[in-house]
């Protein structure tokens, strides 16, 4: 998916989920290095009409700094919810496994660079049940796989 210079939110249409876990494996194919941020990760409890939700992102903020963790997304803009520094800073072809889970008001985000160790961030949210999808900003992204588990759904 090419989102150089723009935001791409790819939603799973017609599905409203509250308690859910989303697994994603994806990588930055080409960063727009001149105008960060560059962001990638799953989003849940989303509203496709307003581009709102909670996302688990790698967030390259400059050529030398990056964060990872949970972000609240309002009108397509990601704001820190529970984040920490990410090292090394993502470059072209940096690949990650993301696990984003929501149960009740608790959300959890686990990000693992391929060949590295997982970082887990937790927070609470008042966002209601909603759609799941992929949040991509300002890079050519590649998603290798996405799996969604709805908890408590027969």
pTM of the shown model: 0.92
Confidence of residue 154 (pLDDT cuts 50, 70, 90): low
| Closest among 42, 12, 41 to 130, alpha carbons compared | 12
- The average confidence (pLDDT) of the chain is 90
Most confident of 60-64, 91-95, 101-105, 114-118: 101-105
The 8-class DSSP code of residue 1 comes to -
More confident position, 34 or 148? 148
C-alpha pair distances (Å), 66 with each of 10, 38, 81, 83, 153: 23, 9, 15, 10, 36
Going across the sheet that includes 95-103, the strands are 119-124, 106-113, 95-103, 20-31, 139-150
Confidence of residue 81 (pLDDT cuts 50, 70, 90): very high
């Amino acid at each position: 998916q090419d989102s150089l210079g723009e935001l791409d939110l790819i939603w799973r249409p017609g599905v409203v989920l509250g308690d859910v876990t989303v697994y994603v494996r994806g990588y930055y194919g080409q960063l727009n290095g001149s105008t960060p941020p560059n962001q990638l990760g799953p989003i849940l409890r989303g509203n496709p009409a307003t581009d709102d939700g909670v996302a688990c992102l790698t967030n390259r903020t400059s050529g030398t700094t990056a964060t990872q963790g949970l972000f609240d997304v309002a009108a397509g803009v990601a704001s820190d919810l529970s984040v920490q520094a990410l090292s090394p800073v993502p470059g072209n072809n940096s690949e990650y496994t993301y696990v984003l889970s929501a149960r009740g008001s608790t959300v959890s985000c686990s990000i693992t660079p391929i060949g590295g160790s997982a970082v887990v961030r937790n927070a609470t949210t008042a966002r209601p049940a909603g759609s799941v999808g992929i949040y991509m900003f300002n890079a050519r992204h590649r998603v290798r796989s996405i799996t969604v588990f709805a908890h408590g759904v027969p």
